[in-house]
Structure 1
């Protein structure tokens, strides 16, 4: 009983530590659709080579898929890019020659070294030559991140307890001029949706607002089967408690067997009576 009480005490403590954001906070994490909005061309970030990356310098050429998240994200961000890459591999058009991808980190503490590692990972997964010039992984200052997030309607929150971000998931497709053409929500993307979205964006078309199936990147999500900090902590504690219970059970069984053996020997000795020494 004491072990059970200790277990739940630890779980409650971890829950308090890993759930700094309240349900009210999380309700403000949304992806508002600003279809037709012009992204500020003057916004400047830094790319994976640590060079200034002015968004406007990359407008006017090709449609752009904008992916917002953060590179050290333990949750959906990797799934978003994995889902995007799988969809892109089914398209005849290629990154670099037909369109661009811009990944932007919402974490101002992330550096270009992390961005470089992620870009290499994405390019290796994508596997098509010539994509490096059209795939950009950016980091930036807080003011640039906040303005871009505000323009695309990307509402996120930072959890100081877990040092993670609660944020929505999805893609933003921009026209070559940098206007928002449409949104694609989720983590698994269909090439039959991504392809036409790029074609429409290239023509400068903006689709109407679509109903969104918002997937929140924070703690556990039953759709993706991913676990967040709270659930992982509970599972770790449960695992440790199970191991300790098994060890305690083994020790108890061994002790019981030893006691049983001692009782049997004692009974046998009593039945035989005291040892009698024969006369010489």
Structure 2
């Protein structure tokens, strides 16, 4: 019996030893912390392509898809915005019939309105169909407002030399600025894009089915792409196996104890 309980104790210590490692992996990751159902503050100030300061509460008056980027990003920002332009071109949504908008906000405080205007012109051309110019807007902000917006969206990023490492994805807001859904990665289905708009119009919060994919893949700043996070997945598998092993040992001790009593 003593040997069995020693095994249980050892397995328990292994579990406890593994938990901080997983927590550290999660703490260091650049990803979205989902804030589904939360309201993004309306007093965040953004600067539009013409250099005009506007409040977020004045901008978000319809379903709004938000991408956090920076304009000189050498990594995933370009493929992310290219994908948004492609999906927008393929989508059956018509802004005059189903109001919606996209806003791309730079989290680099040094980016300028002139850069935002150039980005807007380039990406509206990529859409491939005529859309009202206000359908897709590009904004800059100062550091305080960047911090407020990224914090509210759960967008975690960090500086890496002269660049940033950050996740790719879209946060979808209702007209009341409630976060209703996240779309992760650099590729999206038109269906998910359209459903996000419809659900945002109704204020419906939907869990993110792609959350598992975000956990299994992480951004590689050297390759500037998403890669399979083997260490994280193996860690979870090991901890899960240990938990089941502890449960199995406990079951055996109970069975043996009953056998001796009989």
Larger radius of gyration: 1
The Cα shift of 1:187 comes to: 0.3
Match of 1:10 in 2: none
Match of 1:152 in 2: 153
**Alpha-carbon distance between aligned partners in 2 of 1:80 and 1:196, rounded to the nearest angstrom:** 19
Match of 1:77 in 2: 77
Q: 1:158 to 1:223 in 2, by over 3 A?
A: closer
Contact 1:168 1:217 in 2 (8 A): no
Where do 1:63-142 residues align within 5 Å? 63-95=63-95, 98-142=99-143
Match of 2:222 in 1: 219
Match of 1:44 in 2: 45
**Alpha-carbon distance between aligned partners in 2 of 1:168 and 1:41, rounded to the nearest angstrom:** 24
Where do 1:1-280 residues align within 5 Å? 27-59=28-60, 61-95=61-95, 98-159=99-160, 161=161, 163-210=162-209, 211-214=211-214, 215-216=218-219, 218-221=221-224
**Alpha-carbon distance between aligned partners in 1 of 2:26 and 2:212, rounded to the nearest angstrom:** 20
TM-score (norm 1): 0.66
Deviations for 1:36-88, whole angstroms, at most 9, x for unmatched residues?
110111100101110012110023x3100000011110110010111112112
Q: 1:221 to 1:112 in 2, by over 3 A?
A: closer
Deviates more, 1:208-217 or 1:72-81: 208-217
Deviates more, 1:85-94 or 1:31-40: 85-94
Partner SS state of residue 197, structure 1: helix
**Alpha-carbon distance between aligned partners in 1 of 2:137 and 2:27, rounded to the nearest angstrom:** 29
Q: 1:217 to 1:124 in 2, by over 3 A?
A: farther
Q: 1:217 to 1:94 in 2, by over 3 A?
A: farther
The Cα shift of 1:94 comes to: 3.4
Deviates more, 1:31-40 or 1:204-213: 204-213
Number of aligned pairs? 199
Partner SS state of residue 213, structure 2: coil
The Cα shift of 1:223 comes to: 5.1
Match of 2:16 in 1: none
Q: 1:216 to 1:95 in 2, by over 3 A?
A: farther
The Cα shift of 1:101 comes to: 0.6
Contact 2:219 2:225 in 1 (8 A): no
Alignment gaps of 5+ in structure 1: 1-22, 225-280
TM-score (norm 2): 0.71
CA RMSD of aligned residues (A): 2.1
The Cα shift of 1:212 comes to: 4.3
**Alpha-carbon distance between aligned partners in 1 of 2:96 and 2:114, rounded to the nearest angstrom:** 22
Contact 2:172 2:182 in 1 (8 A): yes
Q: Which runs of 4+ in 1 moved over 6 A?
A: 23-26
Contact 1:31 1:154 in 2 (8 A): yes
Partner SS state of residue 171, structure 1: strand
Contact 2:173 2:181 in 1 (8 A): yes
Partner SS state of residue 31, structure 1: coil
**Alpha-carbon distance between aligned partners in 2 of 1:176 and 1:41, rounded to the nearest angstrom:** 11
